[in-house]
Chain A
C-alpha cells in the first residue's frame, strides 16, 4: 500500500511539486477546461462544432500581426487574435445574411483567407520554430501573465455564460420562441461569438491555433454520452476536460512528448471511451438491457 502511494506520489505529485512551469501549466489547463468545455457544449448543441474549428484558424493572422510588430508578446498577439476572430465572425455573418451564400460556406471562405494570410505573415519574419510555436502552442512555457490571461478569460466566460444562459438555451432549443418573447436572440448569438473568440485566443496561447478547439469540442462530445440534461452535460464536460488536461500534462512530462497534442489526444481517448462505454454510448445501445418496464 505504501509502495502504491509512493509510486502515485512520484508520478502525479512530484512533477507539480518540483517544477514551477508544471504548476503554471496546471493552473492554465484548469482555467481553460472550466471555460472552454461549457463553450464546447453550446457549440455542439448549436451544431457549430466545426465553426469553432474554422474560427480558431481565423484568429491566426491577427496573432501573426501582433507577433510581427511586437515579437512573442502576449498582449499584442492576444489583441490581434481577438480582432481577427471578430472580423472573421462578423464578416461571415454579414455575408451570410446579405448574399446568397450560407453561413458555412462564407465562414469557410473567410477563415481560409485569414489562415493563408496568417501563415504568410508568420513566415515573413519568423523561423520555423516560431511557426511551430504559433500553430502548436506552449503549455509548458506559460508565464505568469499568460496564466493570468487564462484565468481572466475563464472568469469572463463563466460570467458571460451565466448572463446568457437562459437566452442561449432557448436560442438553441426554439429560436422562434425566443424571438417572439424577447429581444435577446441577437444578443445571445453575438455574445456567444464574442465569448468563443476570446476563449479561442486564450486557448491558442496554451495549445496553439490548431489544437485550441480540442479543449472545447472533445469534452463536450464525450459528455454527450454520459448526461442527458444540459446542467449535467456542462458539469461532466468540464470534468472530462480537466481530467484529460491533467492526464495529458503528466503523460507528456514522463514520456517527454509535446504537450499540446498529448492533451488533445488524451481528450480524444476520453471521447472514444465515453462513446463506447457511456450510458448513452454504443455498447449500451447495441446490447441493451433486455428487461423493460411495464409503463
Chain B
C-alpha cells in the first residue's frame, strides 16, 4: 500500500435512526431501533445471521423505505455503499480502470468524459489499494481479494462523507483485510462516517471504536468494549428467534428499550448517544414496557435470505 496522502477534511452528517422499523412483506427485519450516530465515527455493525444488519445498511443507502420511523441526516448527502460481493458480475468484460472510474459518477454523470486529472485520481486510487499496474486487466482475471481492493478504490473515488460496507471482508485473506482496515481508519481520520457489517468480534474490538449490536432490535450501541459483552451477545442470540406468519400486528411505537442498557453501562455518553439519552422525555412507564421476548411480534429470520 502506498503511504496515505495528505489528510483532507470531509464534513460528515450526524445520522439519526428514529424508531426505525424495516422489513419485507410486513415482517420486521429491524424493529423499532433508535440510535444517533455521531459524525465521523467508525462503527462495526454486528449481530447473528438474519439480525437485520444488511437491511439496515440498505436503508441507510436509500435502497429500502422504512415500514415505520425514519432516518435523519442523510437527506442530500452522498452515500458510498459497498454491497456484498455476490451482487457483482465477476465475468463482465470490463477493465479494472473502467470499473473503478465508475466511482466518479457523481462528477461525470451518465455522459461526461474523464479529464486527465480524474484519470490520474483513478490511477492513484488503484495504487492506494495495492493494485498498481492492474488497470488494463479485466475483472475476470482478478482474485477475490483483488476484486475487493478494486471495489475499495471505487469507494475512494466516490469521495462520500458516509461510507457503508456490507461484509467487506467475507472471503478476503488477512493481509488484504489488514490493508483495507488501514484504509477505513484513514477515511475516519478524514472525517467520514464509516459503517461496516462484520462477523469477526475480535476484528471489531481491535479496529472499530464504536459498535452496534443488532438482533432485529438494537441490543447495544456505543463503545465497542461496552457493546461486545457476554451479556449482550447472549441476549442477541436469544432475540434472534423463529418468525411467525400469524403474529399479530405490532403496536409498539416506542423506541427499543434494549439500547437503554448501554446508557447505564457505557461510560462515554458523549460519543455513544443512545435511545435513553436521546429521549429524555420518555416516561418510566414507557421503559417498563414488556420484555422483548414476551412482546408479541413477527420477527423474520427470512431476512437472512432477503438481506444479503
Assess whether B63 is in contact with A176, with CB atoms less than 8 Å apart. Answer: yes
**Alpha-carbon distance A166/B107, docked complex (angstroms):** 14
Closest Cβ neighbor of A47 among chain B residues: B89
**Alpha-carbon distance A179/B64, docked complex (angstroms):** 11
Assess whether B81 is in contact with A173, with CB atoms less than 8 Å apart. Answer: no
Q: How far is the CB of A234 from chain B (nearest CB, A)?
A: 10
B93 within 8 Å of A (CB atoms): yes
**Alpha-carbon distance A123/B99, docked complex (angstroms):** 51
Assess whether A229 is in contact with B93, with CB atoms less than 8 Å apart. Answer: yes
Q: A45-B93, A173-B99, A176-B81 are in contact. Are A181 and B63 (CB under 8 A)?
A: no
A177 CB contact (under 8 Å) in B83, B94, B111: B83
B105 within 8 Å of A (CB atoms): yes
List A130-189 residues whose CB lies under 8 Å from chain B: 163, 166-167, 169-170, 172-177, 179-182, 184
A240 within 8 Å of B (CB atoms): no
A228 within 8 Å of B (CB atoms): yes
Q: How far is the CB of B143 from chain A (nearest CB, A)?
A: 14
Assess whether B138 is in contact with A228, with CB atoms less than 8 Å apart. Answer: yes
Proximity bits, B74-94, A CB within 8 Å = 1, else 0: 000001110100011100111
**Alpha-carbon distance A179/B106, docked complex (angstroms):** 13
Q: Tell me if B's interface is mostly helix, strand, loop or mixed.
A: mixed
List A70-101 residues whose CB lies under 8 Å from chain B: none
Assess whether B93 is in contact with A227, with CB atoms less than 8 Å apart. Answer: yes
**Alpha-carbon distance A184/B87, docked complex (angstroms):** 18
B110 within 8 Å of A (CB atoms): yes
Q: How far is the CB of B95 from chain A (nearest CB, A)?
A: 5
Q: A173-B99, A175-B87, A176-B87 are in contact. Are A181 and B105 (CB under 8 A)?
A: yes
Q: Which A residues touch B94, using CB under 8 A?
A: 169, 173, 229-230
A30 within 8 Å of B (CB atoms): no
Q: Which A residues touch B99, using CB under 8 A?
A: 173
Assess whether B62 is in contact with A172, with CB atoms less than 8 Å apart. Answer: no
- Count of residues in B whose CB is under 8 Å from the partner chain: 27
Assess whether B102 is in contact with A230, with CB atoms less than 8 Å apart. Answer: no
B61 within 8 Å of A (CB atoms): yes
Interface centre among B81, B92, B110, B154, by most A CB within 10 Å? B110
Assess whether A180 is in contact with B88, with CB atoms less than 8 Å apart. Answer: no
Q: A176-B63, A176-B81, A177-B102 are in contact. Are A182 and B93 (CB under 8 A)?
A: no
Assess whether B138 is in contact with A229, with CB atoms less than 8 Å apart. Answer: yes
Proximity bits, A212-239, B CB within 8 Å = 1, else 0: 0000000000001001111001000000
Closest Cβ neighbor of B140 among chain A residues: A228
Assess whether B110 is in contact with A184, with CB atoms less than 8 Å apart. Answer: yes
Assess whether A174 is in contact with B105, with CB atoms less than 8 Å apart. Answer: no
Assess whether B93 is in contact with A174, with CB atoms less than 8 Å apart. Answer: no
Q: Which A residues touch B95, using CB under 8 A?
A: 229
B158 within 8 Å of A (CB atoms): yes
- Count of residues in A whose CB is under 8 Å from the partner chain: 23
Q: How far is the CB of B277 from chain A (nearest CB, A)?
A: 31
Closest Cβ neighbor of A187 among chain B residues: B110
Assess whether A167 is in contact with B110, with CB atoms less than 8 Å apart. Answer: yes
**Alpha-carbon distance A189/B64, docked complex (angstroms):** 20
Closest Cβ neighbor of B88 among chain A residues: A174
Assess whether A174 is in contact with B89, with CB atoms less than 8 Å apart. Answer: yes
Closest Cβ neighbor of B90 among chain A residues: A173
Q: Which A residues touch B139, using CB under 8 A?
A: 173
Q: Which A residues touch B102, using CB under 8 A?
A: 166, 170, 173-174, 177
**Alpha-carbon distance A221/B127, docked complex (angstroms):** 35
Q: Which B residues touch A176, using CB under 8 A?
A: 63, 81, 83, 87
**Alpha-carbon distance A163/B98, docked complex (angstroms):** 17
Assess whether A180 is in contact with B62, with CB atoms less than 8 Å apart. Answer: yes
Q: Which A residues touch B106, using CB under 8 A?
A: 181
Q: How far is the CB of B152 from chain A (nearest CB, A)?
A: 13
Q: Which A residues touch B92, using CB under 8 A?
A: 45, 172-173, 230
Closest Cβ neighbor of B164 among chain A residues: A180
A228 CB contact (under 8 Å) in B87, B93, B154: B93
Q: A174-B87, A174-B88, A229-B94 are in contact. Are A179 and B63 (CB under 8 A)?
A: yes
Interface centre among B80, B92, B94, by most A CB within 10 Å? B94
Assess whether A182 is in contact with B88, with CB atoms less than 8 Å apart. Answer: no
Assess whether B93 is in contact with A233, with CB atoms less than 8 Å apart. Answer: yes
Assess whether B79 is in contact with A180, with CB atoms less than 8 Å apart. Answer: yes
Q: How far is the CB of B92 from chain A (nearest CB, A)?
A: 5
Beyond the given A176-B87, A182-B110, A233-B93, please list 14 additional residue pairs across the A-B interface where CB-CB is below 8 A.
A45-B92, A163-B111, A166-B110, A170-B102, A173-B92, A173-B94, A176-B83, A177-B83, A180-B63, A182-B109, A227-B93, A228-B93, A229-B94, A230-B93
Shortest beta-carbon contacts, A-B, top 9: A176-B83, A180-B81, A173-B92, A181-B105, A176-B87, A174-B88, A230-B93, A166-B110, A228-B138
22 residue pairs bridging A and B, Cβ less than 8 Å apart:
A45-B89, A45-B92, A163-B110, A166-B110, A167-B110, A170-B105, A173-B99, A173-B102, A176-B81, A177-B81, A177-B83, A179-B63, A180-B79, A180-B80, A181-B105, A182-B105, A228-B138, A229-B94, A229-B138, A230-B92, A230-B93, A230-B94
A residues apposed to B, CB below 8 Å: 45, 163, 166-167, 169-170, 172-177, 179-182, 184, 224, 227-230, 233
